[in-house]
Amino acid sequence: MTTITNTTAIVTPAQIALCERVVDATTGQAFYIVKSEHYDENYTEYTVKAIKIAGRYWTTCTCPAGLKGVACKHKIWAAAAAQVHKTQAKVEAMTSTPVATNVDSATLAVLCQEGLPN
C-alpha cells in the first residue's frame, strides 16, 4: 500500500479519501471536511481550516481534541489531502489535461512523495 509520510505520521489513501476539499463561496478560502474513520449509522464530520498568522499557517479542527488546541489526525489527513490536491493541480498544469477524478489515490500519493519534475 502506498502511503504519504511526514515527520510524525503516515497517512493512507483511505484516510485521504475521508477528506473533502470545500471552497467558501464568500471568501474563496479552501478548507476540508474530514469524516471520522469510525462508521456507525453516519460519519461524524469535522472541519479543518488553515489560518495564516504572522506569516505562518496554523490549522484548526472542530473535533474534541482540535477544539482544545491539541494536534489531531484530522489535521494531518487534511494536510495530506491538500498535498494531493496541489500535486493534482500541478499535473494538470503541466499536461494541460485534467486528472480524472477517479485516479487512484495511491498513484497521487506516489506523486506527492516523489514530487514532480520542474
Cβ–Cβ under 8 Å, residues 36 and 45: yes
3-state SS assignment for residue 45: strand
> Please, how many CA atoms are within 13 Å of residue 24, restricted to the half-sphere of its CB?
11
Q: Which amino acid is at 20?
A: E
Cβ–Cβ under 8 Å, residues 72 and 47: no
For residue 57, give the DSSP letter: E
CA 2 to chain centre: 16
Residue 116: all three cell numbers together: 514532480
Q: Is the pLDDT of residue 110 over 70?
A: no
How far is 58 from 26, CA to CA, in rounded Å? 21
User: Exposed e or buried b for every residue in 74-92, given b needs 16+ CB within 10 A?
Assistant: bbbbbbbbbbbbebbeebe
How far is 26 from 89, CA to CA, in rounded Å? 22
The pLDDT tens digits for 9-34 are 689 999 999 999 999 999 999 999 99
The pLDDT tens digits for 47-85 are 999 988 999 988 999 999 999 988 899 999 999 999 999
pTM for this structure? 0.71
